[in-house]
Amino acid sequence: MKRNKKTLYTIILILVVIIISLSIAFAALSTTLIVNFASVNQNAYTWNVQFDTGTTNVAPTKNSTNQSSNFTCDNATVSASSVTVSNVKLSKPGDYCIWAFKVDNYGTMPAKLTNISSSKAGTGSCTTSGATITCGCVTFKLAKNTAGSTLVTTSNTSLAAGSSTTPTQLQLYLRADYTPTTVAQVNACAAQTNTNLTYTLTWGTN
Amino acid sequence: MKRNNKKIMYKIIIVLIIVSSILSVVFAALSTTLTVNVGNLTQIATKWNISVSSTSAINNYGSSGTGRDCGTISTSNNVVTVTATTLSKPGDLCEYSITFTNGNSTMNAKLDSLTATAPSGNTCTYTTFSSCTSGNTCQYKMVCGNITYTLSSNESGTSAPTNLASFTGGTTTSKTVYLRVEFTGSSPSESAITQTNPKFTVVYAQN
């Protein structure tokens, strides 16, 4: 038994010596690498994209020959975050309304349109697709020109950086048209009321 | 080893979740949502129905025994057709009434143009009036050789059809004009002459 104990102690001693030796050897074969930033700077940027509120009551351009009781193009009310038109009533070929408004970039970062969506929350039946809302015989377009041919898309809409005093501006147009052109198309248009049509424009960093 | 791998994997997932959460917060802070809203859109059920409602042969002068034949007049799909007509001597005349009706149109309508078209191969002179849309042709009389064609508001053919100038939407209204074709030359022709397809084209537009 005494011999066995001696043998055990000897083995433990040898193992301790080996471990210490390995540790020293590992330390000798190790390297510490340091990646060091001299400094990390933050530039001063501001973010402020909004509707231009220079004119808060925007009168539309409209078909001047159709000023009957069945033709209504209310003025648009503009706030920093929304453009609202209360009532639109169209009834004949050639009827149209165009509202012009601007988006301002008061921020010092360039901005781009990251998403455009359209919806109808209220009554009626409409189809929506990006910058186009079609409700029966009336079509709304959110466009970059008065004719409504250049629709607003995420790929063609951005704003350069502005400043807190001098914003960069983007001119946009909301256009509503009565679209039928033939007698058959006109006579097929049923009366209908659609409520709460909305375009949502999301702007993000460019 | 497997336990260590799992621990490392869990740590990576936790780090990624934290990073993406931070990025989401940053993105939200640099995003702006603007809305364009139309509260109420109203479409009116509009109807357009202006048509030729009736036609009739009403007068003729000159003996049929000496080459006056007024044919017949009819209408289909807003096209009025007078069959072959023969006028051979001064004073021969055929006259027809044509009634235009604004049926259930809800829109006001205006006379946009009235165009007289010469018979094939003929040169004619025209008389105009001013009830049409500014800048558009507004002809009611056409003289082609010995024959005069007139669309008039009176049976004697002396007045321009100014009664056609407009229709008021929402009310059923009819307006009658008189189509005259008359031999107005001073003497018969020594050889047979055929004038092919003279016509008047009446265009109404919304007002």
ipTM: 0.72
Residue pLDDT, tens place only, A163-182: 999 999 999 999 999 999 88
- Residue in chain B lying closest to A131 (CA): B36
Residue A58 lies in a domain: yes
Residue pLDDT, tens place only, A182-204: 889 989 998 889 999 999 999 99
- Residues of chain A in contact with residue B24, where contact means CB-CB under 8 angstroms, are none
Is A196–B38 a contact, with Cβ atoms under 8 angstroms apart?
yes
Residue A184 lies in a domain: yes
Is A83–B36 a contact, with Cβ atoms under 8 angstroms apart?
yes
Listed residue (A185, A45, A104) closest to B29, CA to CA: A45
- Residues of chain A in contact with residue B39, where contact means CB-CB under 8 angstroms, are 84-87, 195-196
Of the candidates A93, A111, A193, the beta carbon closest to that of B42 is on A193
User: CB–CB of A86/A59 below 8 Å?
Assistant: no
Tell me the C-alpha distance between A189 and A187, whole Å. Answer: 6
| Predicted pLDDT of residue B26 | 47
Of the candidates A92, A114, A201, the beta carbon closest to that of B206 is on A92
Residue A108 lies in a domain: yes
Cβ-Cβ pairs closer than 8 A, A with B, add up to 144
The count of structural domains within chain A is 1
Rounded to two decimals, the pTM is 0.69
Is B43–A189 a contact, with Cβ atoms under 8 angstroms apart?
yes
Residue A70 lies in a domain: yes
Residue pLDDT, tens place only, B163-203: 999 999 888 999 999 999 999 998 888 888 889 999 999 99
Within 13 Å of residue A91, how many CA atoms lie on the same side as its CB?
Answer: 23
Residue A163 lies in a domain: yes
Cα angle value A112/A103/A165 (rounded, 5°): 100
Listed residue (B41, B192, B153) closest to A176, CA to CA: B41
Mean pLDDT score of chain B: 87
Residue A97 lies in a domain: yes
Residue A29 lies in a domain: no
Would an 8 Å CB–CB cutoff place A184 in contact with chain B?
A: no
| Predicted pLDDT of residue B142 | 94
Residue A126 lies in a domain: yes
Which residues form the domain of A185?
49-205
